[in-house]
Amino acid sequence: MAPMEKRVVFQNKFLPYLLVAPQLAITIIFFFWPASQAIVQSVLREDAFGTRSYFVGLENFIILFEDDYYLHSFQITALFSSLVTTIGLSLSLFLAVTADRLVRGTTAYKTLLIWPYAVAPAVAGALWGFVFLPGPGVLAYVLEQAGIDWNFQLNGGQAMFVVVVAATWKQISYNFLFFLAGLQSVPKSLIEAAAIDGAGPIRRFWTIIMPLLSPTLFFLIVVNVVYAFFDTFGVIHSLTRGGPAKATEVLVYKVWYDGFEAQDLGGSSAQSVILMVIVIALTVVQFRYIERKVHY
């Protein structure tokens, strides 16, 4: 890690503690204490009246992994996040490469493509939900005319399609910005040299641009998986409520539903702990890679 402090520092015994105190207070009260409670709750079970709780070891986890709905939720999350990541990244890479090749208009295109980042996931869900709504929805009408029996409120596959569209739509701007920045930092001299040696645009893309872009690509894969796992609750909640028949019940939706709607404290806490492990793994991957990028 980079050096953390200045050569020249101030001398004071109490002031630095006072300065970090607000941040630490929030961190301990609202992050560390609840996280430790989630871990504690995950090995406890409440009795039928909710008055006493007793130690059950890993039983909550065992029940979870024997629960078909939970395994199903894992599969749904894997499908959802891989679709959001692959579609979002390929589309924005294609857009960024196209914009980067053009001499004129790149800045204008950037402005016109970045704003979906600012739209809340829940609002993105509402907008696309309306577009695909059977009845007034314009694309629902187009699909009906094409002979498809369209109703994403009843058909699980169609519901997954709509949540993937809404979640990907929101993330395109972010991916596009980072790809464009990555492309613009590829030295022009390298590309020109390859062109003089007779390499065409496609060859140049795969042999020069893509390898140089791979750190950006890898970084974006992690960011998109984290986004699909943790930041899409609003999309799901506003569009499908995890339905129909749990067809779009991703892990973060299930942890909320089981905890607040089904009041299953132990089960929901065990799910929290599993999510914690996932997010820690993803953060470690992301930061190990960033450390490397800094040193290269």
Partner 1 sequence: MIERRPVANAFGHIFLITTILIVAFPIYLAVIAASHTIQDVSQTPMPLLPGAELFTNTARALFDGPQMIGVSGATPALVLMKNSLIMAIAIAVGKIIISLLSAFAIVYFRFPLKNFFFWMIFITLMLPVEVRIIPTYKIVADLGLLDSYPGLVLPLIASATATFLFRQFFMTVPDELVEAARIDGAGPMRFFCDVLVPLSRTSIAAMFVIQFIYGWNQYLWPLLIASDYQYQTIVLAIGRLMRAPDAFYEWPVVMGMAVLALLPPVLVVVLMQRWFVKGLVETEK
Chain positions 146 to 205 lying near partner 1, rule: CB under 8 A, are 153, 169, 172, 174, 177-178, 181, 191-192, 195, 201, 204
Cα 246 to chain centroid distance, Å, stands at 20
Q: Any idea what DSSP says for residue 44? A: E
DSSP category for residue 46: E
Q: Which of 50, 51, 55, 136 binds partner 1 (CB under 8 A)?
A: 136
Instruction: Return the residue of 76, 83, 89, 99 that touches partner 1, per CB under 8 A.
Output: 99
Shortest gap between Cβ of 178 and partner 1 (angstroms)? 8
Contact positions with partner 1 (CB under 8 A) in 239-268: 239, 241, 252, 255-256, 259-260, 265, 268
Residue list 199-238, contact with partner 1 (CB under 8 A):
201, 204, 219, 223, 230, 233-234, 237-238
DSSP string spanning 256-275? HIIIIIS--HHHHHHHHHHH
- Rounded Cα–Cα distance for residues 188 and 114 (Å): 25
| Local structure of 47: helix, strand or coil | coil
Stretch that binds partner 1, among 53-61, 72-80, 207-215, 276-284 (CB under 8 A): 276-284
Q: Say if CB 172 and CB 92 are below 8 A apart.
A: yes
Binding mask of the shown chain, residues 39 to 78, with x at each position contacting partner 1 by CB under 8 A = --x-------------------------------------
Contact 114, 173 (CB under 8 A): yes
Helix (H, G, I), strand (E, B), or coil: what is residue 55?
strand
Rounded least distance, CB 227 to partner 1, Å:
11
- 17 sits near partner 1 (criterion: CB under 8 A): yes
Query: Is residue 2 near partner 1 by the rule CB under 8 A?
Result: yes
What gap in Å lies between CA 142 and CA 138, rounded to an integer? 6
The single residue listed with the structure tokens 């929805």 is 137
- Kindly state whether residue 5 participates in binding partner 1, applying the rule CB under 8 A: yes
- Class of residue 28 by CB neighbours under 10 A (exposed 0-12, middle 13-18, buried 19+): exposed
Instruction: Work out which of 61, 70, 128, 179 binds partner 1, going by CB under 8 A.
Output: 128
Q: Is 16 in the site for partner 1 (CB under 8 A)?
A: yes
Position 103 contacts partner 1 (CB under 8 A): yes
Taking CB under 8 A as the criterion, the residue among 64, 84, 95, 160 binding partner 1 is 95
Looking at this protein, which amino acid is placed at residue 264? D
